[in-house]
Amino acid sequence: MVSTVGQIVNKFIPDRDAQVKIEAELQAKLIEFESTMAKAQTDVNAVEAASPSLFVSGWRPSVGWVCAVAFAWQFVGQPFFSWVYILVTHQPAPVVALQSDALMTVLIGMLGLGGYRTFEKIRGVTK
């Protein structure tokens, strides 16, 4: 997003000093926006966690436990089951692998790792 804004600024503002100044202001606004959004989400999380209702305060832990169980199955349970099955039956195990890409998407979103990647891109740490 920042590179797109930079391209637009470069297209319409010919003065390089003005371009740098405007790009810096836009980056600062984007960082401020990200910070405001993170603070708002933190406030919502605190209110949800304090709720006595299991349907309000328990949904994050339940999704977290589902992710933990799925990872345990994917990386410990399934390989162990397959190994034992092959030892006993001398045939490949009929186990279907979980879709770990979808699982990672949910887990990364829950852990809040997406915002850090955006921050790195804005700061120019990664390409």
What is the H or E stretch that residue 125 is in?
Answer: none
pTM, 2 dp = 0.48
What residue ranges do the domains of the chain occupy? 1-52, 58-112
pLDDT-derived band of residue 6, with 50, 70 and 90 as boundaries?
Answer: low
Mean pLDDT of the chain: 78
Are the CB atoms for 39 and 33 separated by under 8 Å? Answer: no
Token match 């279907």: residue?
Answer: 96
Q: How confident is the model at residue 85 (pLDDT cuts 50, 70, 90)?
A: very high
**Which is more confidently placed, 124 or 50?**
50
Question: What does the CA dihedral 67, 72, 74, 80 come to, rounded to 10 degrees?
Answer: -170
pLDDT band at 2 (very low <50, low <70, confident <90, very high): low
Best CA proximity match to 1, nearest among 120, 94, 118: 118
**Cα angle 106-111-117, degrees, rounded to a multiple of 5:** 95
pLDDT tens digits along 34-73: 888 888 878 877 777 777 777 666 777 788 888 888 888 8
